Each structure stands twice: as structure tokens, then as C-alpha cells.
Structure 1
């Protein structure tokens, strides 16, 4: 069995708005300046978009996209929130297999909600290929899907402002939340943004970066925090005791210059890069781990963004190829896959695995959704009457 350590290999994005001279990207920044590029993506997603809204809030939510008449928003829209999907899917898989259901991870009881947003390039690709509905996903079985290079997605995790004191172990009051967090309202409730994943198709297997608010009590727990560009302390080791909080990620002059020159709400200075990822293993073959203390609450120790999303695939009937195979419950809680993708996730072998598709003994069992779980999870069922709504609908 391959040993795993919490070493991160990082990568990012180059083609973004101009940045100050002190932070200009070197050539091939997606491979040579990954943390800097992660911050460029973060700034791009959170640039002001009128009123108190950020740019990502003008992008299409899963609710906007996975419906009979997908519409890209004409302006910013409120958060389209749903309960965190990862713990729920894992529990469904365990239940289907007859396993015993353990208690939900701690964060599930703290009112956390999430949403996924797709920029215009991502939205258009899914719509143009009919991947927003089950019949289109079925028709895509056996095809190679590859999003355009300007595709970006974000996943935001939100906590009700009224719960911020409890969530932060009283480091912030509800009254202070608007001065410390990006805040927006959904269904009459004010929510504070506590974490954000940002992914980009600037490299074939996407770039992966995750950010957390500095007051998140478990921000660097288990695997530590790494930011070689934006934090004056590039590596923060995890505390021996979980949930105790960490010092502020004081910004480097280069990142401070980027943030000050951007049209972005100053509250975003309170967010920290937890880590970035662009590969499955490091240069000595050890699994790379990246996990957000909110998004991956309960299974940070075995989290790999790229491996988890690499399992995003669908069967010939358009349904997810691995309803819970990417996240299962072991004796100590949820477990996510680490390391490279395995051929048996997509193929069935009746004999010695052949080298090429089409040779005897090799049968396709799943088609990769190009790392985008929203396709197999959220496509609405247009094959039944009445049409079934997307399971990913927010409030």
C-alpha cells in the first residue's frame, strides 16, 4: 500500500486580468507559480459585480443550469443553497449497500449550506452538449468530454450569520459578520461565506484551489495550510488538537498589492489559501492531499480534489457510475480516494487488461465527465413524465 503524506503539488491559472508588476506571472504559471495563480482566480471570481455582489454570484448555479430551459443569469442572483452533498451521497451509498449509517460529520449539524456556480464557458459547454438533462448524458456515453480552457467553477460554503459565533468559537459575533465575511441573503436568511473551492480548466486535469476564512477553527487541521505566494508564513502545520483555530494568514506584499489594486471588497483580505493541486501524486509517488475543513468536513485526512473529481463519471443509463464510490464510510468515518485514477473505475476486464479500447476482454462501464460531478449528479430526468427536477436544486 502506498504511503500518503500531506505534501501538496500545486498549480494554477495564467490567463487572467493584469496584475501589478510585483506579482506578474512567470511563463507557464499554471505549473511554476500555482499559488499565485490560485489567488488570481480567487480575485477574478470575487471582483465586485454591483452592490455587495461578487462576480461568481453572476454565474449560473446548478439550479439555473440543470432544468428544462437553462438560463445564464443576466445579473447577480442570491445564493442557491443546498445541504452539503458529499456526506449525503456517501450515506446513500452505504444505505444502498446495507451498511450501518454512522452519525453525520460534525459540520452537518452547524447549518452549513453550499452552492456550485459555473462561469459562462462552463455553462455553454454543458448546454450545447445537452449534459444538463439525463437523455443528453445517456447520449454522451462513450464520448470524450473536454471543457474549454476558459471554464471556471466555484463551490461556496455558507453558514447563517446567526451561527457565526458558535461556528468560530466566539472569534466573531453576528454583528461583526458583515465587516469580516462576504455576506448575502437567501430565502430571507443572511449567510456568511466561510470557504470556497475554485477550479479552472487551464490545464487538462483542471487546477484546484481551496480557500477558507481565517476564523475557521479547523482551517489547517490534519494536513496543514500551504501558500507559497500569498502568505508570509508559507506553511502552517496542524495543531495537535483539532478545532483550536490558527493565526491570521498575513498577506505578502505581492498579494497585498494584487488585492489593493483589484475592485474587490476588503472583507476578502480575511480569506486564506488552504492549498492547491494539479496532480495525483508528488514527484516521489506519494499521494497528494488537499481538503477543506468545511467542504470536506470529516474526511480531510483522505481528501484529494483531483482524485475525487476524477471519479466523476456516468453509466450507459446516464446515472452516476459511482454513487458513493468516491466517498465511503469506514470504521473511523468517511474515507475518500487518494492517488491516481484506476482503470477499473471506467472499464470491466474479463481477462488480462488489454492495452487499447476495443481489444477482447475490455468493456466500457463508465464515461468520464471531465472531472465535473455536477453532470452525473445534477442532470434532471427528462425521460420520465412528469419530468423529474434536478436533485441539486437550491433554495
Structure 2
């Protein structure tokens, strides 16, 4: 009797275990798109590369556009301080005719060129760079639903501690510069008709190459911050070095003693990264870009301050740059015009 009972007990345990395995299998399938905070916290480099691959996959072929290039800019998201705006469609976009509206013209095509209209920020440098900031639908919808396009609403909600973006919120800030045709295939390039937001002047149809970008998600309380650079940027790993435990065959690239000399020993894309690019149909040209680093906390395990900055987007602020610390210093101020510019961004300087 005891043997029979023991035998049936073993069968029952085995059957329950089988059901659990089936349930886990179904759960994994159903939860494939659910944010993975553990991955973000403990395997951050892999996590940001996977987010990059998903958002940089080709979405349209004629003209060719990546997934994130079809997201709206923040300028559009905050374009009406009195009312929410809809997720852009072709019909909506074509009705916009202001400089800010032109920034949202998704992707146009004529007989000879593929063009994209962006809102671009030109800084006061001899070699101008142009910037755009785009947000995914989760982040866009939250801004509209919460009324964050209105400064007074932001002020009230922030004071009450009621602003908390969803975990899947994501934004990409990209930096571009004019290039010539010999650079096609080295940089990710676009023919862009950009608008200088300070002067309203158009760049005309100009071939531009992407020199770097930030990718940010809200998977963790402090957000997940990462920055990528074109491998030929002279200052790519200056000041702080480059760290990538997933996507680079060389996990750490030490800084040069002298800045802006360029880097020759920069490793190459790892097999895992190449497989990821292949899975999501990421253009081959992005093998020419390197993850400079990722950040999820203010300090490392030893208590040392974490520094992260892009040689193009942050320029000479890199030695003291921290994505989290910089954004944590944002303050609420309802006094118009009471803002101090950093010298490097002050167009009246010099």
C-alpha cells in the first residue's frame, strides 16, 4: 500500500511539475514584450543594445526609415500648450506648416532623393551639429493623457509627486553633421532638409551623417541611460574610456592621454551583436557605431561617482557629465526668462 501511495505521489509531483513547465512556457511567450527590469539592472549593456536593435530596425523601404525615425519629436508632443495632440499620421503632418510643424513631416520622397525633415538644433561651433529628440508612443501618450504639454500642469503634478512615466517609455536623441558622398556607408546618412530653430533658416537638402545618439528608457526608477558614438569620432573615448560588455569584442577601450586624436584599437561588433542585428534587420552601417557606456545609478558598487557623456552631444562637459545627475538637477520655475545658459550653448557668447 505504501509503495503504491509513494508511486502515485511521485506521478502527481511529476504531473504538477509538467503543468508548471507548460505554464511557464506560455507565460514566457505572453510576456515576451514585458519590460525586463532584471536585464536592465544586471546586464545593462545587453539590454540597451536589444532596445537599440528593436528601434533601429528598418520599418519602411521607400524611403528607408528606421522604427524610431517614425516617432514624433518632442517639439510636436509639446506643440499645443492648451490641448493634447494626436499621434501623427500623414494627413495630420501635412497640415503643419510652421517651422516646428515642418520638423514633424515624417519622411518625404521625390524622384531622386530620400529626404527627412527634422527639427534640428545648430550650436555655435565652427562645425555645426544638428540634433533631434524623438519619443515612442508610450511616452507620447503619457504626455498627452497627463497634460504634460502644459507648464502649469507639470508644475502642479510634479509638486504632488504624480509624474511617473510608464516603464516602456523611451526616447532617442540623435546628433547629425553635414557629410559628403564619400562618407556614405561609413555613417548612417540621410538627405535632410533641416530647420535652425534659432533663425528659422533651412539647411536646404543636405547629406548628413549620424555622429552619435542617446537611448533612454524608463525600465528602472532612475531610468536607463546609454550613449553611442560613430567609431571615427576623434574624441569617442576621451576622458572616461568606452565600456561595453555585450556588443564589442573589446569590452573596455581606455582613454587617450591627449584628446581628439581618434582611436584605432576599438574592437569590433561581437557575434552576439551581429546576431541581434540580423534578427531585427538593423542596417549593416550600424556596425560602425560603438556603445560608449550605460548608466542606471549615481555611483558604482564601490561608491565612486559614475560618469557618462558623449563626445559630440556633451562636448567638453564629458569629464564631469553624468546622465542621471544632470537630469536630476532639473527644477521647476514659473518665472519666464529666468534661465542661465552654459557658455558653450550661449549663442550670444564670443
Per the TM alignment, residue 312 of structure 1 is displaced from its structure 2 partner at its CA by 2.3
Instruction: Indicate if the aligned counterparts of 2:241 and 2:255 stay in contact, CA closer than 8 A.
Output: yes
Corresponding residue for residue 196 of structure 1: 213
Runs of 4+ in 1 over 2 A off after TM superposition: 15-18, 69-84, 133-141, 317-320
Gaps of 5+ in 2: 1-30, 91-105, 108-115, 195-204, 346-350
Corresponding residue for residue 33 of structure 1: 43
Corresponding residue for residue 70 of structure 2: 58
Per the TM alignment, residue 63 of structure 1 is displaced from its structure 2 partner at its CA by 2.3
Task: Say which SS state the counterpart of residue 319 (structure 2) adopts.
Answer: helix
Q: Aligned residues, how many? A: 274
Per the TM alignment, residue 160 of structure 1 is displaced from its structure 2 partner at its CA by 1.1
Cα distance in 2 between the residues matched to 1:261 and 1:196? 22
Q: Does 1:298 align with 2:298?
A: no
Superposed CA offset, 1:237-256 (max 9, x none): 11112111113440111111
Task: Say which SS state the counterpart of residue 191 (structure 1) adopts.
Answer: strand
Cα distance in 2 between the residues matched to 1:112 and 1:287? 29
Per the TM alignment, residue 17 of structure 1 is displaced from its structure 2 partner at its CA by 6.3
Cα distance in 2 between the residues matched to 1:319 and 1:143? 22
Instruction: Pick closer, same or farther for the CA change 1:45–1:239 going to 2, 3 Å.
Output: same
Superposed CA offset, 1:273-316 (max 9, x none): 0000000011222110001000000111000001111122313x
Cα distance in 2 between the residues matched to 1:249 and 1:79? 34
Instruction: Indicate if the aligned counterparts of 2:215 and 2:227 stay in contact, CA closer than 8 A.
Output: yes
Aligned ranges 1:246-395 → 2 under 5 Å:
246-247=263-264, 248-315=266-333, 317=334, 323-324=339-340, 328=342
RMSD between aligned residues: 2.6
Cα distance in 1 between the residues matched to 2:312 and 2:144? 30
Instruction: Indicate if the aligned counterparts of 1:35 and 1:228 stay in contact, CA closer than 8 A.
Output: yes
Per the TM alignment, residue 16 of structure 1 is displaced from its structure 2 partner at its CA by 7.1
Instruction: Pick closer, same or farther for the CA change 1:220–1:115 going to 2, 3 Å.
Output: same
Task: Say which SS state the counterpart of residue 140 (structure 1) adopts.
Answer: helix
| Structure 1 length-normalised TM | 0.64
Cα distance in 2 between the residues matched to 1:70 and 1:197? 25
Q: Which has the higher contact order (CA 8 A, sep 6+)?
A: 1
Cα distance in 2 between the residues matched to 1:152 and 1:139? 24
Instruction: Indicate if the aligned counterparts of 1:249 and 1:272 stay in contact, CA closer than 8 A.
Output: no
Instruction: Pick closer, same or farther for the CA change 1:304–1:319 going to 2, 3 Å.
Output: farther
Instruction: Pick closer, same or farther for the CA change 1:53–1:310 going to 2, 3 Å.
Output: same
Task: Say which SS state the counterpart of residue 291 (structure 1) adopts.
Answer: coil
Per the TM alignment, residue 319 of structure 1 is displaced from its structure 2 partner at its CA by 6.2
Alignment match of 2:193 (pick from 149, 164, 186): 186
Corresponding residue for residue 371 of structure 1: none
Cα distance in 2 between the residues matched to 1:81 and 1:176? 25
Superposed CA offset, 1:165-200 (max 9, x none): xxxxxxxxx223231222221242222111010000
Superposed CA offset, 1:141-182 (max 9, x none): 412210001100010001012xxxxxxxxxxxx223231222
Gaps of 5+ in 1: 1-14, 19-24, 89-103, 162-173, 335-395
Q: Which has the higher helix share?
A: 2
Q: Does 1:73 align with 2:112?
A: no
Cα distance in 1 between the residues matched to 2:336 and 2:324? 21
Per the TM alignment, residue 328 of structure 1 is displaced from its structure 2 partner at its CA by 4.9
Aligned ranges 1:4-153 → 2 under 5 Å:
28-51=38-61, 52-68=64-80, 70-74=85-89, 76-77=106-107, 78-83=116-121, 108-144=125-161, 145-153=163-171
Task: Say which SS state the counterpart of residue 308 (structure 1) adopts.
Answer: helix
